[in-house]
Chains A and B, each alone.
Chain A
């Protein structure tokens, strides 16, 4: 029993790990590109923006289980098979790219346009704006987005388990659902809950760490570690007038 859960947990982590990596590598540029090509963006191009945006929307709106089936030919051509962990990584990654791209888009859009202007006024090109302003300034928010993506991928990976992708989802379905081993199902649920909590914790901590430099407004709130400092302004006597 224990080796079974251990293997399954590692499979889930492998699936989620690789697909997250690919989703970030694909989603980050895609999200930035959506902002740049949008109206008022540095590479403003309504047609391209519309087409890419539409593709992202289709990717986002497709139920994952259908995407997985639809992508089977592609999966086969990449991994040589449509079952197993490697095969699950392909649809997971492709499903998560548009998901993360939209989160990136929202984060990057929040960056003050004045900062973009500042770098332009120094003679910076679009690449300099992306590298020196858009990404670093939205980093805390991007990390939060990546955390959300990982958590969503863990959910998707369970679905991958349903079609033989392996992992904790697979255990829960084959043992818990098909063989009525409710106990084992609860254990997998517990493991998933712990994994998700840990990931959320790490993500929040990382986001907080990079925003500690005082971004304030865009920094995500970490309730767990929040030591409530007495607001200095409120202490001052306000009745001077």
Chain B
């Protein structure tokens, strides 16, 4: 039901599209709905992050995309191929689905390397499955290991590597089939912060160098902040927010934006107006606050602020306090809006951050605004 809206919002060719994706697990008479009508679009060449707490359905989602899990209903299209149609009725994956899978790389939280094989041999596994000849396999594997910076470890066994190195092998292996899409299942969750950063950088580089489209799931907001162009928030099997980072920031009451750029602070006195201002693009570099102060001759206190670079662009949020009630500040607030800033009055929007309600009607108005930017 939301697919039309999402389709209108997106520019660029979608490489992964799910519509109405539902997964229900049945065990001993109990039913657990892991995915509840997920509509997702990942555009070509972007890094798309799905964030959510454990149990939100992220894992089921990413496994439904290459059909490691068979969705109960709904469709999955990857690179123009309807995978759900290829899956057929039986529990086993047919030849066509397996061929399609070989063009989707996947990396795992626990690396899932074969301990009985060397690093190089691990990278060769997908090539063996594809029926590539021995010589060519070896050439390709070494090339990929070079790409991920592990050329000197080719003859080592996974047990001799550190976590970060193991994940690099996992990434090299995922790239062996020249995939267009890389699925990352909590790829950095088992790594320390330093290693996480280097792995994310690697994924970012591959995304740029190879034009690889990346769908990653994570529970770490930092991952989204570091490399994602777009993000979606999952709760109880549903996508409750989704869009590019800029779109999310431009969405009033966006939980993701709040989480990415948390601002806090209470009004110091009753007769004050608290305003959340979001800067991005051009406006981030303008001295807007001092202009506001000079133009209207008002004192502004900053209660809280967060600034960062997301996808190479400066983005920030700030909570400021203006003297007087809202009614008295209509004009200055209008000024801020004119400067191209996203302005929210903390009293109504931030005071009650749109907690996600269940049911279609309460589904938050996600990426409707901000698209023009």
B-binding residues in A (CB < 8 A): 42-44, 112, 114-115, 117-126, 128, 132-133, 136-137, 139, 210, 213-216
Contacts and interface: CB of A to CB of B under 8 A. Distances in A.
A121 B106 contact: yes
Counting chain B residues whose Cβ lies within 8 A of the other chain, the interface size class is 20 to 34
Nearest to A210: B116
A115 B102 contact: no
A114 B110 contact: yes
Given A120-B101, A126-B92, A213 B125 contact: no
Given A43-B92, A214-B158, A215-B159, A118 B112 contact: yes
Contacts of A122: 101-102, 125-126, 129, 173, 176-177
Contact of B177 (A118, A123, A136): A123
Contact of A214 (B101, B126, B160): B160
Interface string B159-197: 110000000000001001100000100000000000000
Given A44-B91, A214-B115, A121 B125 contact: no
A118 B125 CA distance: 10
B128 interface: yes
A228 to B, nearest CB: 19
A122 B130 CA distance: 9
B115 A213 contact: yes
Interface in B89-122: 91-93, 98-102, 104, 106, 108, 110, 112-117
Contacts, number: 81
A117 B92 CA distance: 13
A132 B106 contact: no
Closest 10 CB pairs of A and B: A214-B159, A123-B102, A122-B126, A118-B112, A121-B106, A123-B98, A114-B112, A123-B101, A213-B157, A136-B116
A94 to B, nearest CB: 31
A154 B101 CA distance: 48
A115 B68 contact: no
B86 to A, nearest CB: 12
A172 B28 CA distance: 55
Which among A112, A123, A133, A137 has the highest number of chain B CB atoms within 10 Å?
Answer: A123
Contacts of B106: 118, 121
A121 B92 contact: no
B278 interface: no
B99 A213 contact: no
Contacts of B114: 115, 132-133, 136-137
B336 to A, nearest CB: 48
14 contacts: A42-B92, A44-B91, A117-B63, A118-B106, A122-B102, A122-B126, A123-B98, A123-B126, A124-B98, A125-B98, A126-B92, A132-B129, A139-B116, A213-B157
Contacts of A123: 98-102, 126, 129-130, 177
Given A115-B112, A137-B115, A214-B158, 20 more contacts: A112-B110, A114-B112, A117-B68, A120-B101, A121-B68, A122-B173, A122-B176, A123-B130, A123-B177, A124-B129, A125-B93, A126-B92, A132-B125, A132-B129, A133-B114, A139-B116, A213-B116, A213-B159, A214-B159, A216-B159
